Amino acid sequence: MKREVLVSYRGHRSQEEMGKLYNVSQQVWSRWENGTAKPRVEIMKQLEEDIGIPMEDIFFDAFNTSKMLNANASKTA
């Protein structure tokens, strides 16, 4: 599971409606859905509670990008 969870969670609601629920703009919600930005930890925790899926699963790439970069840097060093 990745950010498509946010699209599924949104369902028939608009990105603007979801943004209002989480006190962000429609543009910010859109960036979360397409993976170009991630929410603050407080919002990730709220989404985790609301959706019922761990934030590490919803925002997998945000939690694992630095691990992957560190692993790749270790291999080249």
Identify the band that residue 77 occupies on the pLDDT scale cut at 50, 70 and 90.
low
CATH numbers and ranges of domains, the chain: 4-76 (1.10.260.40)
Lowest mean pLDDT, pick from 1-10, 27-36, 45-54: 1-10
Mean pLDDT within 41-70? 83
Q: Please name the residues in contact with 9: beta carbons below 8 A apart, sequence gap of 6 or more.
A: 47, 50, 51
What tens digit of pLDDT does each residue of 24-46 get? 999 999 999 988 898 999 999 99
Do 63 and 56 form a contact (C-beta atoms < 8 A)?
Answer: yes
Identify the band that residue 71 occupies on the pLDDT scale cut at 50, 70 and 90.
low
